[in-house]
Structure 1
Amino acid sequence: MNNEHLELDTFSETNEKFNRLVGCCMRSGHIDQNLYLEYDVKRGLRDSSGKGVLTGLTEISDVTAYETVEGRNIPSDGHLYFQGYNVEDLINGFKERKFKFEEITYLLVFGALPNQTQLNDFIQILSTARELPNKFVRDVIMKAPSANIMNAMQKSVLTLYSYDPNPDETDIPNVLRQSLELIAKFPLLAVYGYQAHRHYHLDKSLVIRYPKPELSTSENILRTLRPDGQYTELEAKVLDVALILHAEHGGGNNSTFTTHVVSSTGTDTYSAIAASLGSLKGPRHGGANLKVAQMMENIKENVSDWTSEQEITDYLNKILDKKAFDGTGLIYGMGHAVYTLSDPRATILKRYAKLLAEEKGLMDEFYLLDTIEKIAGNLVATRRKLFKEICANVDFYSGFVYTMLDIPQEMFTPIFAIARISGWCSHRIEELVNSGKIIRPAYKYVGHHVDYIDIEERK
């Protein structure tokens, strides 16, 4: 056997010895599901109603989905607040200015909206910090490119540690410097990671464009991602709005909670952000918009009349019956752990999706998505005997938006990461400023204590 690589079939499903080990893992790892009820385990850190267990405090953002009436929580339209500002108001207030993701990043990190001078200075800082280290693209991104761009980004983030003259210091000035540098560099790490994948794995021409300092984050993403570097003002505006809506969503979502957990150990910024990327990569978290896009293509192929609510309902029932699409029984993009009647991010993004669909001549696809949203909420609630309808979440429209923007599916979750790092860094700083204890929840042992058996006596 090669010293550097295990033989390919060592871990093959046809290898009998390996399969025995798999069986051991399955038996050893299984826990009686009734024990979770017996010990009142808050699985997923949620109570029996699905509400998250309170594990921390934050001033960065707030998510509301209920109104209190006579002491009772009544489901209401959802609202999302950044540093106390309603996101709907923030986006509506930007009408006279085209691109505002950078302004939202300032708000999240520093806790207040900037004046024009502060914003100009901040944009200049990001523009300067955007440049990657000398030969980083050649020596890091182009070497061993990953088919999954999220893994490529993790590798790049961890390697940036080696280029930092002061990587481990966790005082706020140093962490803020590192945070702003990562926020600025994330679009290039994602786009260049994709270009490397496209070249080495898909045999396409390699196109590397440098960002322009005078362009916004959304403009530079489209410019560096597209082969011709061209885009319309509306395309850049819609992507800017999508970045804002994905930038932050409270401290309890999995990747941001990961930021808190890892930061509480006192580790460096690069390790914390790489861990958050690993969390966001998961299909239960950041990968959901890709599943929506794939589901939509499947529905378009199998529903002949996109205007027929009955035909659409029949096919959605097939999906719920696990007889269509991927066999999971899930209508992706529907339902949310917090929101009840509506997800404000989906409501806002739907509005911009319609504008873009009009420009692209894709209104038939938009109306199909709109019809599915209207039918699926009640259908899922009825089938699962829920006490209320479920609403579309932001993933329901983000995949459609990214598709209209000609963003390849491999980049869907990295785009999410480009936005969410603003929130991650804000929460990391908040965790460090408040000098919290290391996060360590309890796990109860439910196995058995046994006596040691010498190896000659084991079966």
Structure 2
Amino acid sequence: MVNAKDSADYVKNLASLCQENDKIEMQLYSKYSVKRGLRDENGKGVLAGLTTISTIYPEKIVDGKVIPGGGELRYRGIDINELVKGFVSQNRYGFEEIAYLLLFGNLPNEQELARFTHELTQRRTLPTNFVRDVIMKAPSANIMNSIARSILTLASYDEKADDISLANVLDQSLMLISVFPMIAIYAYHAYNHYDQGGSMYIHNPQGNLSTAEVILTMLRPDQQYTKQEAQTLDMALVLHMEHGGGNNSTFTTRVVTSSGTDTYSTIAAALGSLKGPKHGGANIKVTQMMEDLKAHLPSEYTEDDVRKYLTAVLDKQAFDHKGLIYGMGHAIYSDNDPRAAIFKRYVSKLAQEKGEQAAKEFELYALVEKIAPEIIASKRKMYKGVSANIDFFSGFVYEMLGLPKELYTPIFAIARIVGWSAHRMEELVNAQKIIRPAYMEVTEDIAYQDLQDRI
């Protein structure tokens, strides 16, 4: 019988060996010009590939001068602001239209959009007894892991799982885009019922609903939602759908795709990447930080009270003592994340609909958004500007929508599966070469010792 404490101590001692023997001196990275994180010293990403799917401009330069607030995001060459204005001005949901654009390279006409939307609707179905036998059998608080397990299991139901012809990969991708909301919401309900003692609702998506409406109807016991709620969630999905080939989960998608493996394994790997708190899990840290801030503010707080708290956070004296103001700054953008600027307008509208308390909380978020960059700039060596990113507001929106925290990152995945699918197909069309960067060994050569001679 295994002695649990003895085993734990043994593993702890071995971990200390890893800590000691795996440590690489930081100066060696500079000595050998290693781009840590595949970024140079100014934070610019190392060029690792080409794409037609989306483009990120950290700033706009006119006549050699940087234009403040000039960050841009383009889907297939079209500015995200123009895309949003297009469907919002006609009071339409945007997820399906923008998904078509990212997957196929052009905006659909009315007939193409209707046919594509119908196709996604028809594919919102899981294999017989899949919910009972897979999703409900091993509920977990970590919904991202539950989704990954479900995706890998779906391969068992696909007779052409390993077929990586473009038509088959597209067929698989459309299916996954359609069922991701179902898998995520059902996984949450199973966890909430079996682990938390709550009620479990298995609502089947009905009618020709948008993806945002599907999420809200499956999640809520009464299946009711307002137009503003659905539009705000739809906007979150559009803005999270794609963000260039260099973000961690999309790069993972392309790396794994380049090995020639199947769609299910590729998307499971991307999910593992997105799950990390430095990537898709960041919005949870924002809401936790803001909750801690509210707990430390007087009922009638001032801007100076907020400033003192944020300063303490940067000085590692408050919140999680990591020295980070979450939701501020981005690896690419400097003083403007265009997604955050768009999303903020919807956050404001939803807060007004939700009432006085939500409106007051929005004011606090807006205040932090205003003063955090000033404090960061005064206390950190900056190579570029800093501003709120989309994660700063998304957690607050999900909270107003009544989404449980366990679903914050899965909502991101429900959107980003579109971008992953587009990049997977582009990689299959163009690369034909496995992605394999170089690593340099920096250990000294050591002579082998016989077992009896080792101390």
Normalised TM-score (structure 2): 0.97
User: Where does residue 179 of structure 1 map in the other structure?
Assistant: 173
Distance 1:262 1:7 in 2: 39
Shift of 1:20: 2.1
Structure 1 segments unaligned to the other structure (5+ residues): none
Distance 2:429 2:447 in 1: 47
2:36 counterpart letter in structure 1:
R
User: What is the total number of aligned residue pairs between the two structures?
Assistant: 452
State whether structure 2 residue 352 is matched by structure 1 residue 358: yes
User: Where does residue 93 of structure 1 map in the other structure?
Assistant: 86
User: Where does residue 394 of structure 2 map in the other structure?
Assistant: 398
Distance 2:258 2:415 in 1: 23
State whether structure 2 residue 157 is matched by structure 1 residue 159: no
Does the aligned pair in 1 maintain the 2:245–2:423 contact within 8 Å? yes
Instruction: Select 1:430's aligned residue among 410, 426, 429.
Output: 426
State whether structure 2 residue 194 is matched by structure 1 residue 200: yes
Distance 2:269 2:46 in 1: 22
User: Where does residue 312 of structure 1 map in the other structure?
Assistant: 306
Shift of 1:228: 2.2
2:410 counterpart letter in structure 1:
P
Aligned residue for 2:428, secondary structure, equals: helix
- Structural RMSD (CA): 1.4
Shift of 1:233: 1.0
Shift of 1:47: 0.4
Shift of 1:213: 3.0
User: Where does residue 37 of structure 2 map in the other structure?
Assistant: 44
Distance 1:79 1:145 in 2: 40
1:420 counterpart letter in structure 2:
R
- Please show how residues 130-145 of structure 1 align to structure 2 within 5 Å: 130-145=124-139
Instruction: Select 2:439's aligned residue among 440, 443, 458.
Output: 443
Distance 1:186 1:457 in 2: 57
Distance 1:336 1:7 in 2: 46
Distance 1:334 1:139 in 2: 42
Q: CA offsets per residue over residues 117-155 of structure 1, 9 Å max, x none?
A: 111111111111110011000011011112200000000
Q: CA offsets per residue over residues 335-380 of structure 1, 9 Å max, x none?
A: 0111112101100110000000000011110111001110001110
State whether structure 2 residue 349 is matched by structure 1 residue 378: no
Distance 1:87 1:376 in 2: 26
Shift of 1:307: 5.2
Does the aligned pair in 2 maintain the 1:242–1:349 contact within 8 Å? yes
Aligned residue for 1:62, secondary structure, equals: strand
State whether structure 2 residue 47 is matched by structure 1 residue 54: yes
Does the aligned pair in 2 maintain the 1:223–1:229 contact within 8 Å? yes
- Please show how residues 402-413 of structure 1 align to structure 2 within 5 Å: 402-413=398-409
Aligned residue for 2:71, secondary structure, equals: strand
- Please show how residues 42-441 of structure 1 align to structure 2 within 5 Å: 42-71=35-64, 76-94=69-87, 95-305=89-299, 308-361=302-355, 362-386=358-382, 389-441=385-437
Does the aligned pair in 2 maintain the 1:65–1:76 contact within 8 Å? no
Distance 2:287 2:162 in 1: 40
Distance 1:172 1:335 in 2: 37
Instruction: Select 2:27's aligned residue among 27, 30, 34.
Output: 34
Does the aligned pair in 1 maintain the 2:253–2:420 contact within 8 Å? yes
Shift of 1:181: 0.4
Aligned residue for 1:322, secondary structure, equals: coil
Does the aligned pair in 2 maintain the 1:381–1:388 contact within 8 Å? no
Distance 1:366 1:126 in 2: 35
Distance 1:49 1:388 in 2: 8
Normalised TM-score (structure 1): 0.96
Distance 2:431 2:25 in 1: 38
Distance 1:373 1:202 in 2: 35
Shift of 1:388: 5.1
Does the aligned pair in 2 maintain the 1:158–1:271 contact within 8 Å? yes
Distance 1:8 1:290 in 2: 33
Q: CA offsets per residue over residues 222-273 of structure 1, 9 Å max, x none?
A: 1111122211111001000000000000000000000000000000000000
Distance 2:3 2:232 in 1: 48
Structure 2 segments unaligned to the other structure (5+ residues): none
Question: Judging changes above 3 Å, is the alpha-carbon distance between structure 1 residues 69 and 86 closer, same or farther for their aligned structure 2 residues?
Answer: closer
Distance 1:179 1:31 in 2: 40
> Identity of aligned pairs, percent?
54
Aligned residue for 1:243, secondary structure, equals: helix
Shift of 1:381: 1.0
1:455 counterpart letter in structure 2:
L
Shift of 1:387: 5.5
Does the aligned pair in 1 maintain the 2:60–2:71 contact within 8 Å? no
Does the aligned pair in 2 maintain the 1:258–1:275 contact within 8 Å? yes
Aligned residue for 1:93, secondary structure, equals: helix
